[in-house]
Structure 1
Amino acid sequence: METKIWQATDLSAAVTALKRGRLVAFPTETVYGLGADAFNEKAVSKVYAAKGRPSDNPLIVHVATPSQVRDYAQVSEQAQQLMDAFWPGPLTIILPVVPDKLSKLVTGGLQTVASRLPDNAVTRQLINAVGSPLVGPSANTSGKPSPTIAEHVYHDLHGKIAGVVDDGATKIGVESTVIDLSTDSPAILRPGKITGPEIEAVLGGPVDSFEHHVAADEVPKAPGMKYRHYAPDKDVYMVKEADWTQAIIWAQGQLAPVGLMLPDQLVEKHQLAGMDFVWPLGENDASAAAKLFAGLRNFDDQPMVKTILVARLADTPANGAYNNRLNKAAGGQYFDVAEFM
């Protein structure tokens, strides 16, 4: 199969492909998603095959209007409040599914379904033209860093999908916040751009941060809870700000080049500007999140690089999504001065 890259100004070929049950990657404000008609079970099955995704990992359904969610899910008052406040935007809401409306391939066999309305006009136009919501996991090989440009999608999935709609680099760069409203107490299952305090302000009550370890025989309610995610093939270590001097000394002493990913202020502090194998993360939490996956992919694609050191940011709500994805990419590993030096 030849995979096409289509411009966002002409969606006709992408629409035709989706209506024929083929796979098309689409842009969102978070990362690129791998689209298939959510009501076409055969098409949905192709998503799992293309990504190499475990079949018990539920998919997020992307809609063009909030009203589309009522076609397959039971929308509560709290859900409507969050839709009004944050949609279109990077918030995924888990709700009870209407029986027999969606394939178990979409829900992972659960009685719940995750939905969101992306803040990308091109993709909303695409969904409207197809006439059906689209499932949309990240458009990458399962477990690898998520794609933030069309070229990332092509790198991972060329020959496996019909094409990708190119709308440039994503704005946010990490996946959406996932909140579970299917239980008595709202709980954030995956951190994202929209923080717990922001959600609490809308709902007028507490929201749990649900750090649940998913057992081997348990189906996760949201992507990113059970399986290895966001990880390049290289060894990745998180570096605390106080350890960067020693980390740079260690990196400079290695025979193979070490990829360094750190905020602009640390690049300047350690006089690394313009040096090879340095990936600046920008000047704030938003830029760091937007540049994280692209930086991991950049070094993963360089055969000479064997190790990647990445800045761990302060543990604040605004940095929650960045630190969550980095922790998973690193498998929880930190640069330990005593161990490395």
Structure 2
Amino acid sequence: MAQRFELHPDNPQARFLRQAAQKLQAGGLGAIPTDSSYALVCRLDDKDAAEQLRRVRGVDDKHHLTLLCRDLSELATYAMVDNRQYRLLKLATPGPFTFILPATKEVPRRLSHPSRRTIGLRVPEHHVTQELLAIFGQPLLSTTLILPGETEPLNDAQEVYERLERQLEVVLDAGACPAQPTTVIDMSGDTPVVVRQGRGDPGRLGLVLEDAG
């Protein structure tokens, strides 16, 4: 049964975040607000929690999961980034962008794309998410909270709680999010490719929307 914590969006109560972090550390699944939409999250190195996350989301192992990182230095621990890529990442973070990058050995193989050995990474610009990551002490494995058979992410914490209370341990309620997914940029090849246009503006990075094939 999920526990719902009501948090101030700009000054979240540390005691609630600590309790939420403890539940995630113990293998629980959570729903948290971000700068794009609500996301499902769990501990990076918990196989059972990751499988539960995929079940709730209704996706298989070919679906890119995303690591929520506090900053670029943390991101670089889990992705191989060259100087050109780093400059682009610096322009876009924190913000509503997800980057697909080659995974380092720090990422469990079962979490990366099975044929490409890539992983999604992002640095969200949301105070509650940043404070939770700081307390948790490592990235959180995440995916946009879109339920099977639906096309739009859930954006209301009360609705999240009502629909998923038996499948989650934690719901962080800090008010509504923008309800728009991140812009996804594949940086695993020679040229960055915008594979999904979302809330983040690719023009800010000097990129245009292309068909990734």
Q: Normalising TM by the smaller chain, what interval?
A: 0.7 to 0.9
Question: How far apart are 1:137 and its partner, in Å?
Answer: 0.7
Q: Structure 1's 188 and 157: CA in aligned 2 closer, same or farther, altered over 3 A? A: same
Q: In the superposition, relative to structure 1, how do residues 211 and 84 fare at CA in structure 2: closer, same or farther (>3 Å)?
A: closer
Unmatched 5+ residue regions in structure 1?
201-205, 213-341
Number of residues paired by the alignment?
A: 204
Match of 2:164 in 1: 157
Please tell me whether residue 142 in structure 1 is matched to residue 177 in structure 2: no
Aligned to 1:320: none
Is 1:7–2:6 an aligned residue pair?
yes
| 1:107-256 equivalences in 2 (<5 Å) | 107-109=112-114, 110-144=116-150, 145-170=152-177, 172-200=178-206, 207=208, 209-212=210-213
- Gaps in structure 2 of 5+ consecutive residues: 8-12
**2: CA distance, partners of 1:86 / 1:58:** 20
Shift of 1:207: 4.7
Give matches, 1:323-334, under 5 Å: none
Deviation at 1:86, TM superposition (A): 2.1
| Residue 10 (structure 2) aligns with | none
Task: Report the CA distance between 1:208 and its aligned residue.
Answer: 5.4
CA deviations on 1:126-185 (whole Å, 9 max, x unpaired) are 112111101111224234220112123224322001021011011x32111111111011
1:73 alignment partner in structure 2: 79
**Residue type matched to 1:106 in 2?**
L
Which aligned segments of 4 or more residues in structure 1 are displaced greater than 4 angstroms?
A: none
1:275-314 matches, within 5 Å, as: none
Name the stretch that deviates more: 34-43 or 58-67: 34-43
Q: Quick one: structure 1 residues 129 and 62, their matched pair in 2 at CA, closer, same or farther if it must change by over 3 Å?
A: same
Distance, in Å, in 2 between the alignment partners of 1:197 and 1:88 is 16
Give the whole-Å Cα distance in 2 for the aligned partners of 1:158 and 1:140.
15
Give the match's secondary structure for 1:36. Answer: strand
Work out the CA distance in 2 between the residues paired with 1:153 and 1:75.
35
Aligned partners of 1:141 and 1:156 also within 8 Å = no
TM-score after normalising by structure 1: 0.56
CA RMSD of aligned residues (A): 1.8
Code of the aligned partner of 1:128: A
Q: 2:111 aligns with which of 97, 106, 117?
A: 106
Question: What TM-score, normalized by structure 2, do the two folds share?
Answer: 0.88
- Other structure's SS at 2:20 match: helix
C-alpha distance in 2, partners of 1:54/1:36?
16
Q: Say if 1:152 and 1:138 are closer, same or farther in 2 by CA, change over 3 A.
A: farther
CA distance in 2, matches of 1:130, 1:22: 13
Can you list the C-alpha shifts for 1:211-250, whole angstroms capped at 9, x where unaligned? 53xxxxxxxxxxxxxxxxxxxxxxxxxxxxxxxxxxxxxx
Deviation at 1:6, TM superposition (A): 0.8
One-letter amino acid matched to 2:210: S
How many angstroms apart in 2 are the aligned matches of 1:180 and 1:211? 9
Q: Deviations over 1:109-138 (max 9, x none)?
A: 231111001111111111121111011112
For residues 50 and 166 of structure 2, what CA distance do their matches in structure 1 show? Answer: 17
Q: Relative to 1, partners in 2 of residues 1:67 and 1:120: Cα closer, same or farther, differing over 3 Å? A: same
Higher relative contact order (CA 8 A, sep 6+): 2
Q: Which amino acid aligns with 1:210?
A: D
Quote the offset at 1:82 in angstroms.
2.5
Structure 2: which amino acid aligns with 1:70?
A: A
SS at match of 1:114: strand
Whether the aligned pair in 1 keeps the contact of 2:64 and 2:112 (CA below 8 Å) is yes
